[in-house]
Amino acid sequence: MRCISRLPLSALRLLFVFCSICCALPAGAASSAEIIDKLLANETPPAGIVFDIDEWDSDALQWAIPLVRSYVDRLRTRFPDLDIAIVSHGDEEFALMKYAEPNFGTVHREVEALVADQVPVHVCAGHAVMSGYNENGFVDYVDKVSAGVETVAEYRRRGFIHIPVTRR
């Protein structure tokens, strides 16, 4: 086994940079559940909430939408007039294509119910097009936006709390 002192200088620099970055990262960001709990403990509601779903698993909406629904219900019980939005901009958004409804019927019904409850659901048309899909392939009740990241940023500019949706 080679000793670290025998590594070339360029490798040592790379190792130093890597270790510096790793040490600078936070030990762990708060989960979406922890953020919701903190918001519910407040006396006053935030300007709004934007849930950010960005998974590269095409089945992710099967766990993400029920999770977000539970958060919406809790938040709206505490703050009935709270503005809430959902942005989906990873491969999970393809579950909301018309052709996917037979395989993701429950997700479709849950998303349609969220929209009926004044929770807009945005999908990223840019990601769809780059992945070879036509944006018109999405179901009619979702809002097609050109860039999901920009939509999240716009909500944040309006004072909405950004909540990345995570499984943990």
Q: Which of 18-32, 44-58, 90-104, 106-120 is predicted least confidently?
A: 18-32
Statement: residue 10 has pLDDT above 60: no
Cα 145 to Cα 133: distance, rounded to the nearest angstrom: 14
Average pLDDT, the chain: 87
Alpha-carbon gap, residue 61 to 66, rounded angstroms: 8
How sure is the predictor about 166, in pLDDT bands with cuts at 50, 70 and 90? Answer: confident
The three-state secondary structure class of 23 is: helix
Q: Give CA–CA dist 85/52, Å, rounded.
A: 9
The encoded tokens of residue 121 equal 């659901």
Residue 164, pLDDT above cutoff 50 = yes
At residue 144, the pLDDT reads 98
Q: What is the pLDDT of residues 52-92, one digit of tens each?
A: 999 989 999 999 999 999 999 999 999 999 999 999 999 99
pLDDT of 22 over the 90 cut: no
* pLDDT computed for residue 12 by the predictor: 36
Q: Which of 2, 74, 5 is nearest to 33 (CA)?
A: 74
Check residue 3 and give its pLDDT. Answer: 45
Long-range contacts of 133-139 (CB under 8 A, 24+ apart): 133/94, 133/97, 137/97, 137/98, 137/99, 138/93, 138/96, 138/97, 138/98, 139/96, 139/97, 139/98, 139/101, 139/108, 139/111, 139/112
Domains of the chain (ranges, CATH numbers): 29-164 (3.40.1260.10)
Share of the chain above pLDDT 70, in %: 82
pLDDT attached to residue 7: 46
Model confidence pLDDT, tens digit, residues 23-45: 333 434 688 999 999 999 999 99
